Amino acid sequence: MSRHGKQILYLAAAIFLSLPVVSCHTTSHDTHTYRPYHERRNRGGSSSDDNTTAPSTTDRKKPIPQSGHDLVSDEWARLDIKLGRKDNKKLYHELKRWLGTPYAYAEHTCGEGTDCSGMVMEVYQAVYGIKMHRNSAKMLEVNCRIIDLDDLKEGDLVFFITSSDGHVSHVGIYLKDNKFVHASSSRGVTVDDLRQNYYATHFHAAARVTTRP
């Protein structure tokens, strides 16, 4: 091979070695499908009396009465509850004692642990001297009468169907301004708004306690 030919060969080799290395393996990308809130359903049921995360078999939405007071959410978060002359101060003070109590199935001890019906049972005994059933479905069946949403007053009960079996499985105590206190399975005793998407969807009935002390 001539000297000129070797120079061409060396030049070609140098150009080839300078090219970037490309892998022959393709990279696969996992794709995730994000669904809106109403389509995200946990299909598992629960026998707990307080299952605030289980799905409902139907997507029923019922109207919630409009507020007649000027409470705002951040005031509730700070527990700065404004009370009027007609408010049952004993009820509010008792419920404030329970706020923050962690959730504990089949328990009903303020500050230590409680489920939804346990908290309601203890509060009604302390405030009204009324002995309630230990189960939310029994409370509605035996201790209460169903009322219109527009008739809700502080101290009334609100019931929810949160399990896939279609039975009442959660209860809370209504305050005012669409707020209610309940024992959430994930957050403990807390205040929520009936107009929140989850509670509006799983709402079952408003009821007034008729059992006498």
**Residue 86 φ/ψ region, left for φ over 0, alpha for ψ in the -120 to 50 degree band, beta for the rest:** alpha
The catalytic residue among 108, 110, 144, 182 is: 182
- The residues pairing with 170 across neighbouring beta strands, listed in sequence order, are 160
Residue 122 buriedness (CB in 10 A; 0-12 / 13-18 / 19+): middle
- CA distance linking residue 156 with residue 208, whole number of Å: 5
The catalytic residue among 116, 144, 202, 204 is: 116
Both tokens of 132, joined, read: 């309630």
- The residues pairing with 174 across neighbouring beta strands, listed in sequence order, are 180
Q: Please say if 182 is a catalytic residue.
A: yes
Active site residues per annotation: 116, 170, 182
